[in-house]
């Protein structure tokens, strides 16, 4: 039995590594080994758990605003990256939760906390957040982190080449980027955050939202977020460095924004 397992491992691991070596939409090399249909299933399962555990907002104005902004952002993402495979439809839900947060999951699920609407003061600022979160999905960051965090053994288990092991449900939720929603602290890496920021900036501009508002959003976040640890102690960029990186991408994004019709969303 053991030699047979070793043989399978020797055959499948190189194939998985070759199949998983890819590039993100920005051209960065990444290793993402989990099949996309499996990532979509995990995203669906995670979203169903959130729906069962967290109340959904009944605020009609908030729901109209979030649905409108999300629809325009997704359409712009599809136009920006026509070579990528997109879900047939995206499910968008506003959760009654005071923390200023949002997330997007593989398979086409977007969640927005009602508290974010107190910080994102304009539809464009909301678009900056949703564009950022959708970019995490487009760049396959959850898949990449699942591969990195859990290792080859876990990935082999996921694709059915190993029996059930030590990989827990919480680890999967962390890798999908929604650990914070469940009280599990594991943010995306700094590389992922910076990549999603710049992709999201381009997407919101193409959707007709003023990219300058992305900077305004993070200034608002800095105002309500209190002190942050030094950047070298955190995987997240500091608000200041995040704003600086966004400002460097504003010229191109603003040119895109001026070439399209302005978006019109209101609560």
109 vs 137: CA distance, rounded Å: 10
Task: Let me know: does 17 contact 32? Beta carbons within 8 Å.
Answer: no
91 vs 51: CA distance, rounded Å: 12
Pull the structure tokens for residue 252: 């191109």
133 is catalytic: yes
257 vs 126: CA distance, rounded Å: 16
> Which neighbouring-strand residues pair with 93?
111
Q: Residue 266 burial (CB < 10 Å; 0-12/13-18/19+)?
A: exposed
The DSSP bridge pattern shows strands 91-95 and 109-113 to be: parallel
158 vs 39: CA distance, rounded Å: 10
- Set 97, 133, 144, 194: catalytic member: 133
Task: Let me know: does 205 contact 254? Beta carbons within 8 Å.
Answer: yes
Q: Is the dihedral of CA 83, 84, 90, 94 positive or negative?
A: negative
55 vs 96: CA distance, rounded Å: 5
Task: Let me know: does 124 contact 132? Beta carbons within 8 Å.
Answer: no
72 vs 207: CA distance, rounded Å: 6
Pull the structure tokens for residue 127: 């678009």
Q: Residue 227 burial (CB < 10 Å; 0-12/13-18/19+)?
A: exposed
**Residues noted as catalytic:** 133
């Amino acid at each position: 039995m053991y030699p047979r397992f070793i043989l399978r491992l020797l055959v499948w691991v190189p194939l998985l590594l070759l199949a998983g070596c890819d590039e993100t939409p920005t051209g960065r090399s990444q290793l993402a080994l989990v099949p996309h249909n499996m990532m979509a299933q995990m995203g669906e399962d995670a979203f169903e758990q959130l729906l069962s555990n967290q109340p959904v907002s009944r605020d009609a104005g908030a729901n109209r605003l979030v649905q409108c902004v999300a629809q325009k952002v997704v359409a712009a993402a599809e136009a920006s990256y026509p070579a990528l495979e997109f879900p047939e439809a995206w499910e968008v839900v506003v959760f009654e939760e005071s923390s200023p947060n949002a997330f997007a999951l593989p398979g086409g699920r977007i969640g927005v906390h009602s508290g974010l609407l107190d910080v994102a003061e304009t539809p464009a600022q909301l678009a900056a957040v949703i564009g950022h979160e959708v970019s995490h999905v487009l760049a396959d960051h959850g898949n990449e982190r699942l591969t990195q965090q859990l290792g080859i053994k876990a990935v082999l288990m996921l694709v059915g080449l190993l029996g059930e092991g030590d990989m827990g449900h919480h680890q999967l939720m962390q890798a999908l980027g929604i650990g914070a929603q469940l009280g599990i602290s594991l943010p995306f890496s700094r590389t992922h955050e910076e990549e999603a920021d710049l992709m999201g900036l381009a997407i919101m501009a193409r959707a007709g939202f003023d990219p300058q508002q992305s900077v305004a959003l993070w200034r608002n976040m800095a105002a309500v977020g209190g002190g942050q640890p030094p950047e070298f102690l955190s995987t997240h960029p500091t608000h200041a460095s995040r704003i600086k990186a966004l400002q460097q991408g504003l010229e191109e994004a603003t040119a895109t924004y001026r070439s399209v019709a302005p978006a019109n969303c209101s609560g």
